Amino acid sequence: MTTLLKAHELRHSFGATPALDGVSLEVRRHEILAVVGESGSGKTTLLNVLAGRMNADQGTVHYHDGANLRSLSELGERELHRLQRARWGFVEQNPRAALRLNITAGGNIGERLMAAGDRHYGNIRAIATHWLEQVEIDPKRLDDLPMNFSGGMLQRLQIARMLVTEPELVFMDEPTGGLDASVQARVLDLIRSLVRRLGLAVVLVTHDIGVARLLADRLIVMRQGLIVESGLTDQVLDDPHHAYTQLLVSSVLPA
């Protein structure tokens, strides 16, 4: 059994506009699944529902906790929060939304460890230092405030904060969307190597099909709340079948 997350017939509307119009999918252990589509296609709503950050009007999300497949709606709020704080991670497009800018870089990382139950100060400091190195931030910055960090560093700090509990499933919403191209390459490369090394499963929302091609094993193309096409990333991008996917692929300027 390698299914980690399973969504069935998700439906959700904002007013009269359907954001999810019957979406089903599975995420397998160690797999990177990209969700691409234009603004308003429902991809961010899908990510939030999968991550247990909002409830869909209809449909179910099940998570395999190692022993059983359990419905998110049947987990209590406490248990869901425990999952989100330790075994899952979320990377926001804007790191300022996830980090606390008025406490130190080390404090930001330590906070998540403490929320997951670690209380030993020396441990927390050593682990925070280790993860700063993993995301290529000089450990000397451990006691600096992130408000003085560049956008790329903030994003890497957010990734370190999320990885410190060694999650098995990570949700990413346009993780390089707000970064300059030169910084973007570094963060992408970092995500690519960490994800492979740690064996993470990732659900990645992006409108950038270059990012999807670089990172994802599988790809889902969404439009108007529906999955219009899915498959192996290179197959969907090199041999797109749906009219919308053909438009998406042909609209990209070659680098």
Partner 1 sequence: MNQPMLHARGINKSFLLHLQGGVRLDVLHEAELAVGAGECITLAGASGTGKSSLLKALYGNYLVDGGEILIRHLGQQVDLAAAAPELVLAIRRTTIGYVSQFLRAIPRIAAIDLVAEPLVDRGASGHEAKLRAAALLERLGIPSRLHGLPPATFSGGEQQRVNLARTFICPWPILLLDEPTASLDTTNRNRVIDLIREVKSQGCAIVGIFHDPQLHDAVSDLRLLFSESTAHSRT
Contacts to partner 1 by CB under 8 A: 28, 31, 185-186, 188-189, 192, 196, 214, 217-218, 231-232, 234-235, 238-239, 241-243, 246-247, 250
Q: Which is nearest to 109 in space by CA: 49, 168, 158? A: 158
- CB nearer to partner 1: give 79 or 238: 238
Q: Are 3 and 30 in contact (CB under 8 A)?
A: no
Q: What is the smallest separation between the CB atom of 238 and partner 1, expressed in angstroms?
A: 6
Q: Which is nearer to partner 1, 100 or 213 (CB)?
A: 213
Give the Cα separation of 88 and 178 in Å (integer).
23
Shortest gap between Cβ of 129 and partner 1 (angstroms)?
A: 22
Q: Which CB atom, from 90 or from 244, has the smaller least distance to partner 1?
A: 244
Q: 32, 217 in Cβ contact below 8 A?
A: yes
26 near 5, Cβ under 8 Å? yes
Residue 101 C-beta: closest distance to partner 1, Å: 28
Q: Residue 3 CB, nearest distance to partner 1 (Å)? A: 11
Which DSSP helix (H) or strand (E) runs through 12?
Answer: strand 3-14
Q: Smallest distance from the beta carbon of 234 to partner 1, in angstroms?
A: 6
Amino acid present at 124? I
Nearer to partner 1, 109 or 228 (CB): 228
Report the residue number, 10 or 33, with the smaller CB distance to partner 1.
33
In the complex, the smallest distance separating the C-beta of residue 75 from partner 1, rounded to whole angstroms, is 27
123/119 Cα distance (integer angstroms) = 8
Count of Cβ atoms closer than 10 Å to residue 59 Cβ:
18
Backbone φ and ψ of 126, nearest 5°: -65, -40
How large is the greatest C-alpha to C-alpha distance in the chain, in angstroms? 56
Considering the complex, state which of residue 101 and residue 243 has its C-beta at the smaller distance from partner 1. 243
